[in-house]
Every structure is written in C-alpha cells, then in structure tokens.
Structure 1
Amino acid sequence: MESPIESYLKRIHQEIAELKDGKPYSTIPAMANVDPDNFGICLTTVDGYTYEIGDTRQEFTIQSISKPFTYGLALADLGVEAVDAKVDVEPSGDSFNEISLAPGTGRPANAMINAGALTATSLVRSAGGNTRFKRILNTYSAFAGRQLNVDEEIFESELEHGHRNRALAYLLRSFNILESDPAPVIRDYFRQCSVQVTCLDLSVMAASLANAGRNPLTGKEVLGIGEVERVLSVMATSGMYDDAGSWLSNVGMPAKSGVGGGTIAVLPGQVGLAVYSPPLDAHGSSVRGVATAERLSNDMELHFVRAARTGRSAIRSTYDITGAPSGIRRNDEAMDILREHGHRARVIELNGDLLFAGTESMVRELSSLGEDVALVILDLRRVDEVAGVSLRLLAEVRENLVAAGRELVLIDADGSLAETFKDVDREVPTFDTRTAAVEWCENELIGRYGDELCLPAEVEVADCPALSPLSAGDMDALAGRMEDRAYADRDVVRRVGQRFGGVFFILSGRIETSVPGPTGRRVKLTTLSAGMTFGELALGSSDRQETTVKAVGKVRLKVLTAEAIANIEEEDPRLGVELWKALTRDAYTRVDLYLRETAVRIRD
C-alpha cells in the first residue's frame, strides 16, 4: 500500500515542476549545459528511511552546500574559540560572493559566504597521512554514507574562471586570516565545491546533521553534537545568504543552497530534506528548491516552532492479537479460528507526540503491513499532542486501507481523533480499551472465517465453555438449581460494589462491562455474548463486584446464585467440587491468556 507521504511528494513534485523561472548557473562554463528540467526531492528520516521522487540519483556538484560540512570539520579540528577568531557567526545580509569582512580585522561575517568558507577550508589540517582535501572529502563521504568523488571538469573550470574567489583569498591573506600561501587553499576550496553528489546523498547528509551528527544509515558519528549545534545555528541565520530572514520565517529550518541546483534543509531530531533543480533565483538558490521547502514546511508542519521537539518513532510496540487476545472465553470452534487467523489483526501502539517524525514512522508502519493483515488496531492512549499533519495523513491512510479491503480500528479514550473521521463513508470502530478493540477484531475474524457454531446467537447452558468439563449428569444437576433471568436493553444486571451474586451464564444477547475512568467517564471493558459467563470474578475482589454490567439489547441468562452455590456445597460436596474445578479451569484459561499478552507486550 502506497504511503500518503509518497503520494504527497509525487503530487507536489508534479505541481512544482511546472515552475519555469530562473536559469542554471553559467559563471562556470562547465556548469551551463545542465538540463533545467532535472528535479528531485528526497526526505531522509533520522532513523534512515528515505522518500524520493524524481531525479534523485542524478549527479551534480555540491558547490556551496559543502560549506557547513567543512566548517564543522574545522570546528572539530581546532575548537570553537580558535575558529571564531578567524570567522564570525553573524549574518552578513549580503550575497554569497560579497566581501563582507570586518573593518580592521578582515574577519569574514560567517562561514556560509565565500570569504568565510575559504577561511574554514584553510583551518582544516592534514592528519593521519591524509591531506587537507582528502580529510574534507572523507568527511563528506561519511556524511553521505558512500564514497564521493570530484568532477574534474568542473574543478578545472572553477580554477580557470573563479577570479573573485581567488581575489577574496588574497584579501584574506592580507589580513592574516589566511596564514599562508592562498593558492593551495583556493585549489582545495574549488575542489570541495566540485565534489559530485546526488539529491539522495544530500538528504542523507542533511539527515546526519538532523541526527546530531550521526549518519542514520551507517550509524557512524561523523561530527560531535557541539559542532553540529554551531553548524546548524549558522545555517539558520546565514545559510541562505541575503534571503536568510525570509527563509527562516517561511520555512523555519536551517538550510544551505548551492549554485549547482542543490538545496538542503535540516529539522533537528526529525528529518533531512534535499531538493535538486538547477534553475536559480536572484539569490543563487534553486527556484524549485525554495518552493518545495516552503510547501513541505507549511503542509507537513516542519517549521521549527511547530516541530520543536525531538522526533522519534511514535511506535511503542506492534504485535498481532494471537499473542495478546482479549481474554474472552470462547468455544473450541472460535478458538480454532482465532489461532489460524489471529495474525490478520495487528495492534500498533503509539506514544509521545504525533508531530512529523512520529507521524512518518506511524504512516510507514501502516503502509508496509503484509497483505494478509485485514484489521489494524491503532492504540492512541499514550499519545500526547497530535499535529494537524498527523490527522490529514491518518485520514489518507484510512482511505488507503479501505480501498485495499482493510479496516482501521482505534483505541482513543479521549476521542481526540473524532473530528478526523466525522465525514467518512462509514463509522471507524473506536474503543476506550485495548481489550474491547481486540474483542471486536476477534469477532470480525470469527464472523469472516467461521460459521454459526463459532459465534452462536443462542446457546443452552450446557454449551457454555466454562462448564464443558462437567459430566452430563452433573450438568443437569446444576441446571436444575439455576434461575432464569431476562433483561431489556441498557438494564443494569450488576452494579459496582454489590456482593457476590452468583455465576451468570449468557444464553442470548450481549452483556457490556464497564468501570469508572479517571475523569469519571465510564470506560468500557468487554462485551460478552452467548455462551460466556460473568460474576465469578467478584469472589477474587473481597466478594465485591468491581464492574457495572449492563444488557445490550434483549438478554437471557441462567444464574447460579450465591445461595444456590452454598446449598450445593452443603448438600452435594462432590458436585460443588466439580463446579469449582470447572470454574477454576476457566479462570486459569483467562489468566493464561493474560500472561501471554503480558509476555508479548514486555518483549516488544
């Protein structure tokens, strides 16, 4: 099943591809012949999952997107204080190739403009037998998760035509910002700008910054959190040059553009975005790159103000109902059906905040379910905040599930998603407890794959599973001591606090049990149907009823009252022992189901 995030990216890619503004960079002749229709979008999450659409594997040169990564390497080599002495952290308000040097000291305004980037390159040291450029290239490769290479044609063209950068380097030397011959620095700077990348590479590099400097694909820490903090801060204020204020207002993510057509944006703790499209605007940024970032930030709520918390998977646990059954005592035919088909109903427990990252992990899990899964239980009880993007994507997921012949079931005690599904074609089954949701799914599976013997509408008391161990004679003796009871819809059968009133056997209709919730609102626990029993658990609660029991529709019961049980124990002790053995065995079955559920929950 296609993820709604993939569908969304396809849709905006098609729409934004219609933008024909801007022109590819032509100052470097070797870059002028690129296809202006090239356009790719990649999103890589901090756990290493990538969404990609369009020309994401087309190679182009990294250009100015190299600057934050070289700056980070210089910080790691020398420390913040030493680097700050050479290059400031203030937004210049100027375009990328302006001089922007401090009067008197010649210190560049920041490491994102060319003067500051040349300075950062000069600060990287040779080490471990590797030259300065080799260390720079190795760092880029570690961020991308693969070995990168230099486009030699672009490099030679940069050397031949990069006169302004050469002039900046010699001006920096005059202020002793560059402490040695500028020529090797210029060559290394042009070479770093000529490194070949793809949109996919850039998204992984951005995601590595989002992941506190650790590559989410390889697990390797490329940069420490202190350096990442400084790099992202400077990217936020200066990465988009003289358009930085507008970018931070409209997009709200640290970013960097390059004249090769690449753009990256970083949402710390959540995702890295990369866009490739060569036509540039007046600021030297990709026209489609800016448009895509603005659209994604708005639609997916990626602005740092909205998505400020660290993104982590919202999935707490996932399991099918065979390992976590409802605990309802069913007949042998129904149990056989559930053992065979229980894997078709899957529970996904969520926790934390459903902002973009949490929503993405949820959508990914739902979209990748096996084809045999027919029922999906989404447990939202531990979810705190739900963003608007989460509601929209969940609604799309539900439509996709229905189109695939599946059903979404919610555990949503607070009713926080009620508005999301108010206009759907049919009601979305919603429950307060996991037990109630699983029970509903069990009934669905039994109804789909079983027959009338599995979910009988009416039974005789002798067919109740709890009494199945008894002989026919003992069953007849017990039945003769039972009372008939009948209830109308919503009649209260038992109330919280009542003393043990006997064991109730449901012959027809349904019974609902509930308890007061923490807010005073009643929380439904289970729905019992023909063949099931209730009442005996009060014996384990100081002989007091702990749930309210109501009829759902017309209900017929047989009741073995407390008085009848006492009389049996006095008049026919053997029958009393057989009765309690049968009820104990039934209770043990329920406990066993509960322990299996607990084991599954702990393991997950």
Structure 2
Amino acid sequence: MESPIENYLRIIHEEISDLRDGKPYSTIPAMASVNPDNFGICLTTVDGYMYEVGDTREEFTIQSISKPFTYGLALSDLGMDAVDAKVDVEPSGDAFNEISLAPGTGRPSNAMINAGALTATSLIRSRGGNTRFKRIANLYSQFAGRQLGVDEEIYRSELDHGHRNRALAYLLRSFEIIENDPTPVVEDYFRQCSVMVNCMDLSVMAATLANSGRNPMTGVQVMDLLPVERVLSVMTTCGMYDDAGAWLTSVGMPAKSGVGGGTIAVLPGQVGLAVYSPPLDDHGNSVRGVATSQRLSRDMELHFVRAARAGRSAIRASYDITAAPSGIRRADEAVEVLREEGHRAMVIELNGDLLFAGTESMVRELSSLAEDVAYVILDLRRVDEVADVSLRLLGEARENLLDSGCELVLIDRENTLAETFRDVERPVPTFDTRTAAVEWCENELIARYGEHLVLPTEVEVGQCVALSPLKPAHLAALTHRMEERIYEKGQVVRRVGQSFGGVFFILAGKILTSAPGPTGERLRLSTLSAGMTFGELALGSDDRQETTVKALERTRVDVLTAQTIEEIEEEDPRLAAELWKALTRDAYSRVDLYLRETAVRMRD
C-alpha cells in the first residue's frame, strides 16, 4: 500500500516547485552557478524511518547550518558558563552577517549569527591527536551517520572573498572574545561552512537533535541532552536570523538555514526535516525551504504548540489472529482454514497520542503490510488524543487499503473515528472488543477461503465438537438423557452467580457470553453457535456461573442437567468418565487459546 505521507510529500513538492522567487547566493562566486531548480525534501523520524522526494542526494555546502552543531560541541567541551561568557543567547534582530556585539564587552548576541559562530569555532580546541577542524568534521559526520568531506573550491572561494567575516574575527579579537590569532579560526570556520552534505544528511542530523542527541540510524549518542537542549533553544529564537519571529509563529520548530540552500527544522521527540533549494529570500533563507516548512507545519500539525508531547511509536503490538484467536469453538474443518489462512488478518494495537509521530508510525505499519493481508484490525482502545492530521491520514490509508484489496476493521468502543468514516460509501466494520473484531475476521476468512465449507446453522447433538471423541454407544446413552430447551432472542440463559446448571449443547441459533467490566459495563467475551458448548466451565469456579449467557437469536439446545450428570456418575461411572474426558479435552483446547491471547497481551 502506498504511504499517505509519501504521497503528500510528492504533492507539495510538485506545488512548491512552481515558486520562482529568490536567487542563489552569489557573494561567494563558486556558489553562484548552482542549479536553481534543485529541490529536495527529506523527513526522518526519531526511530530512523526516512521519507524523501526530489533532489535529496544532490550535494551542497552546509554553510550556516553548521553553526548549531559547532556551538553544541563548544558547550560539550567547556560547559554552559564558559561558553555563555563568550557568546550570548539573545536574538539579535539583525541579518546573519551584522556586527551584533554587546557594547563594552563585545560579546556576540548568539551563536547563530556569524560573529557568534566565529566565537564558537574559536572555543573548540585540538584534542586526542585531532585538530580543531578534524573534531568539528567528525562531529558533523557522526550526526549525519556517514563520513562527510569538504568542497575545496568553495573553501578557497570563501577564503578569497570572506572579508567581512575576517573583519568580524579581528574585531572579536580586539575584545578578547577570540583570545588568540583569529586567522586559523577564520580558516576553520570557512572550512566548516564548506563541508558537503545532501538533504538526507541534514534530515538525519536534524533527527539526531530531535532524538536527544542519539543518531536514529546508527544508534550512536553523538551529543548529551544538556547541550542539545541549549542548541535547540537558541535555534528556536535565533536560527532564522531577523526572520525568527515570523518563523516561530508560522512554523513553530527550532530551525537553521544556510546560504547553500539548505534548511533544517527539528520537532523534539518526533522528527527532523530538511529541505534543499538554492534560491534565497532577503533574509538569506531558502524560499522553497520556508514554504515547505510552513506547509508541513500547518498540514501535519508540527508546530510545537500542537505537537507538545514527546513522540513515540503508537504501535503497542502487531500480530496476526493465529496468535490470539477469538476463542470461538469451531468445527475441525473451520479450525484448519483459520490455521492456514489466519495470517491474512492482522491486529495492530495502538496506544498513547495519535499526533504526527504516532500517526506516522501507524501509517508506516499499514503501508508495509504483506500483500496477502486481507483484513487489518486497528485496536484504538488505548488511544488518548487524536489529532486532525491523524484522522485525515487514516482516511487516506483506508482508501489505499481498499484499493489493494484489504479491509480496515476497527476496535473503537468510544467511537473515536466515527466522524472520519461517517460518509464513506463502504462502512468500516467497527466493534467494541478485540474478540468480536477477530471473530468477524475469522468468519470472513472461513467464508472466503473455506471453499465449500459452510458454517452450520443447525446440527445434531452428536456433531457438537465437545462430544466428537465419544463412541456411538456412549453418545447414544448421553443423548437419551438430554433435555431439549428453546430460548428466544434476548432471553438470558444463565446469570453470573448461579450454581452449576449443567452442560448445554447448541443445536441451532447463537449465544453471547459476557462479564462485568472494571467500571460496571458489560464486556462481550464470545459468541457461540451451532455445534458449540457452554456451562461446564462453572465447575471450575466453585460451581458458580462467572458469565452471563444470553440468546442472540432464537436458540435450541440440548442440556445435560446437573442432576442428570449426578445420576450418570452414580449409575454408569464408565459413561461419566468418558463424558468428562471429552469435556476436559475440549476445555484444554480453549485454555490453549486463552493462554496464547494472554501471551500477546503481556508482551510490549
């Protein structure tokens, strides 16, 4: 099944490609010849899944997107106080290359403008046999999850034409902000800006920040949480320079842009976004990068106010129904069909909040289902909050499932998604309990793959599954002692607390068993039909009925009453023993089903 998220990214990529505003950065001549039509979007989740569209493999220089990572390295090396003494954390309100130094001290406003970035670079020291730049490049490579190189042509062009940055460095030296010769600092700063990346690299780097400093692709803890927290805070207020206020209100994610055309945005705990498009606006930000970020934030509800809770996978468990059957007792032929075809019906248990991150993991699970899956049960009972983006994407996912021949089934006791599917042409099967949903799928599988197998609507007592091990003579002796009863639709057969009333063999109709829930509501346990048995389990509960048993339709049963069973035990012990052996075998088969279901419930 096609992912609705991938489809969405293709649509906005096509639409935003029409934007022709801005022009590539030309102050550095070696960057002026870039193709203005290059445009890529990449989205990486904190659990390491990547969506990409467009020119995501086209390499370009990282430029100012390097600033937050070098700043983070300085914080990791020296600590907050030492770095704060050299560079502030306040928005400057000025362009990226302005001389924003505090009167008297010369301290730059923040590490995202050039003066602050030069200061941060100067704070990195050689260590462990690695030069300052080698340590910076290694950090970038760890964030990206691959070894990154330098564009020497861009670097030399920066050296030849970066006069303003060189002047800023000497001014900082005059205030003792840069404590030594500024020339090596400037050279390393130009070299860090000339590191080559692509859109995929930047997306992984952003996702590493979103993942509290752990690279979601490699699992390496690249940076500790404390410096990551400071980096993201400064990116939020200062990362987009004199456009930071507009960015925060319209996008609402920590971000950083570069004159090479890259833009990154970080939604902590959920996702890292990267966009590459060279044409820049008057603030030095990518025109398409800003437009893409605004669109994604609005459509996917990524603004930090909406997506405030940390994201995690919404998938609690995923399994096919052979791992947790409904518990309905069926004929051997039907059991064999379900054993062979049960993998075609999947249960996906969801929990927590279905915000963007949770929805993404759910949609990804649906999109990756095997082609032979015919039914998907979404269990929503543990879901708390559902965002509008979740409803929209799930609606699209359901249409894609139908197109691929797969039916969506819901366990939605609270009618969480009722509005989403209210007007669809083909209603979505919806149930209150997992048992009921699985039972429905089992019946569908039996009907579809059972060939000429027809579920019986009426049987003779000898066809009941529990009695199948008995010899004809024993069966005849028991049948002679049975009492026939008729129950009308809605009539209660047994109530909770009643003493053992005998063993009931269903000849026609349907029976519902239910039990009190934790808050007093009735929980549907199972549906029994022709050929099935009930009543004997009361013997395992101090001879007391633990469930309420009700007729779902007009039902005919044969009953071995409690009194009759006592008489058989006294008059024909051999017959009684054969009866209990048959009932015990049937009970053990059901216990096996319950244990498998319990095992599924206990795993996380």
Specify the TM-score bucket, using the shorter chain as the normaliser. Answer: over 0.9
Moved more, 444-453 or 60-69: 444-453
> Aligned residue for 2:522?
522
The alignment partner of 1:506 has SS state of: strand
Counterpart in 1 of 2:73? 73
What is aligned with 2:247? 247
What's the CA shift for 1:80? 1.0
Q: CA-to-partner distance for each residue in 1:570-591, whole Å, 9 max, x for gaps?
A: 3322222221221111111111
Q: C-alpha displacement at 1:192, in angstroms?
A: 0.8
- Report the Cα offset of residue 359 of structure 1: 1.3
For residues 365-417 of structure 1, give each alpha carbon's deviation from its aligned partner in whole angstroms, at most 9, with x where no partner exists. 11101112111122222222222222211111111111111111222222222
Query: For residue 204 of structure 2, what is the amino acid of its counterpart?
Result: V
Paired residue type of 1:524: R
- Provide Cα deviations, 1:334-358, integer angstroms capped at 9, x if missing partner: 1111111111111112222222111
- Which amino acid in 2 is paired with 1:456? P
- Which deviates more from structure 2 when the two are superposed, residues 286-295 or residues 543-552? 543-552
Find the residue that maps to 1:553 and give its secondary structure.
coil
Output the CA distance in 1 between the equivalents of 2:601 and 2:43.
32
Which of 301-310 and 249-258 deviates more? Answer: 301-310
Q: Distance in 1 between matches of 2:481 and 2:335?
A: 30
Do the aligned partners of 1:511 and 1:551 also contact (CA within 8 Å) in 2?
A: yes
Cα offset for 1:32? 1.3
Partner in structure 1 of residue 199 of structure 2:
199
Q: Distance in 1 between matches of 2:417 and 2:541?
A: 35
CA contact (8 A) 1:262 1:278 kept: yes
Residue 132 of structure 2 aligns with which residue?
132
Per the TM alignment, residue 184 of structure 1 is displaced from its structure 2 partner at its CA by: 0.9
Given the alignment of the two structures, is residue 43 of structure 1 paired with residue 43 of structure 2, yes or no?
Answer: yes
Residue pair 2:514, 2:526 contacting (<8 A) in 1 also: yes
Contact 1:333 1:454 (8 Å CA) reproduced = no
Deviation track 1:18-75 (CA, whole Å, cap 9, x = no partner) reads: 1111111111111111111111110001111100001100011111100000000111
Instruction: Specify the alignment match of 2:309 in structure 1.
Output: 309
Following superposition, the deviation at residue 600 of structure 1 comes to 4.4
Aligned-partner residue type, residue 289 of structure 2:
G
What SS is found at the alignment partner of 2:410? strand
Equivalence for 1:536: 536
Q: What pairs with 1:141-152 in structure 2 (closer than 5 Å)? A: 141-152=141-152
Which secondary structure state, in structure 1, belongs to the residue aligned with residue 358 of structure 2?
Answer: helix
Q: Which position in structure 1 is the counterpart of 2:160? A: 160
Instruction: Report SS of the residue matched to 1:418.
Output: coil
User: Structure 2: how far apart are the matches of 1:155 and 1:333?
Assistant: 74
Moved more, 41-50 or 552-561: 552-561
Shift of 1:603: 5.3
Correspondence list, 1:184-583, <5 A: 184-451=184-451, 453=453, 455-583=455-583
SS at match of 2:578: helix
Structure 2 CA distance, aligned partners of 1:451 and 1:463?
Answer: 21
Supply the AA of the counterpart residue of 2:212.
A
Q: Is the 8 A contact 1:331 1:454 kept in 2?
A: no
Q: Alignment partner of 2:160: what SS?
A: helix
Which residue is 1:593 aligned to?
A: 593
Cα displacement (A) at 1:228: 0.3
| Cα distance between partner residues in 1 of 2:451 and 2:559 | 28
Range that drifts further, 571-580 or 66-75: 571-580
Corresponding residue SS for 1:341: helix
Contact 2:329 2:528 in 1 (8 A): no
Residue 601 of structure 1: how far off its partner (Å): 4.5
Aligned partner letter, 1:250: S
Q: Is the 8 A contact 2:68 2:235 kept in 1?
A: yes
Give the Cα separation in 1 of the matches to 2:539 and 2:387.
Answer: 46
Q: Output the CA distance in 2 between the equivalents of 1:527 and 1:329.
A: 9
Q: For 2:547 and 2:217, how far apart are their aligned partners in 1?
A: 51
Distance 1:447 1:267 in 2: 47
Moved more, 224-233 or 349-358: 349-358
Q: Which amino acid in 2 is paired with 1:74?
A: A
SS in 2 for 1:43: strand
Q: CA deviation at 1:543?
A: 2.6
Shift of 1:216: 0.8
Partner of 1:119: 119
- Corresponding letter in the other structure for 1:522: R
**CA deviation vs aligned residue, 1:281-311 (integer Å, no higher than 9, x gap):** 1111111111111111111111111212221
Give the 3-state SS of the residue equivalent to 1:339 in structure 2: helix
Question: Does the 8 A contact of 1:317 with 1:350 survive in 2?
Answer: yes
The aligned runs of 1:12-23 (5 Å cut-off) are 12-23=12-23
Change (3 A) 1:76 1:265: same
For the residues of structure 2 that align with 1:347 and 1:573, how far apart are their CA atoms?
Answer: 46
Partner SS state of residue 553, structure 2: strand
Q: Deviations over 1:133-170 (max 9, x none)?
A: 11111111110011111111111111111111111111
CA distance in 1, matches of 2:490, 2:528: 14
Report the alpha carbon displacement of residue 452 of structure 1 after superposing the two structures with TM.
5.2
Q: Is the 8 A contact 2:17 2:288 kept in 1?
A: yes
Which deviates more from structure 2 when the two are superposed, residues 451-460 or residues 530-539? 451-460
Q: What is the CA-CA distance between 1:258 and the residue it aligns to?
A: 0.7
Deviation at 1:428, TM superposition (A): 1.6
Shift of 1:565: 2.0
Number of residues of Structure 1 aligned to a counterpart in Structure 2: 604
Q: CA deviation at 1:602?
A: 4.4
User: Which 5+ residue runs of structure 2 have no aligned equivalent?
Assistant: none
Please give the alpha-carbon distance, in whole angstroms, between the structure 2 residues aligned to 1:280 and 1:31: 12
Separation in structure 2 between the aligned mates of residue 595 and residue 473 of structure 1, nearest angstrom: 34
Say whether residues 1:58 and 2:50 are aligned partners: no
Counterpart in the other structure of 1:182: 182
Amino acid at match of 1:553: E
Which amino acid letter does the alignment assign opposite residue 565 of structure 2? Answer: I
* Alignment correspondent of 1:105: 105
Which secondary structure state, in structure 1, belongs to the residue aligned with residue 188 of structure 2?
Answer: helix
Aligned equivalents of 2:509, 2:453: Cα separation in 1: 15
The 8 Å contact of residues 317 and 349 in structure 2, kept in 1 or not, is answered as yes
Q: Does 1:91 align with 2:81?
A: no
State the shift of 1:454 in Å.
Answer: 5.3
Counterpart amino acid of residue 50 in structure 1: M
Amino acid at match of 1:457: T
Deviation at 1:115, TM superposition (A): 0.4
Matched AA of 1:144: A
Q: SS of 1:369's equivalent?
A: coil
Shift in Å, 1:98:
0.9
Once the two structures are TM-superposed, the CA of residue 544 in structure 1 deviates from its matched residue by 2.6
Runs of 4+ in structure 1 over 4 Å off: 451-454, 600-604
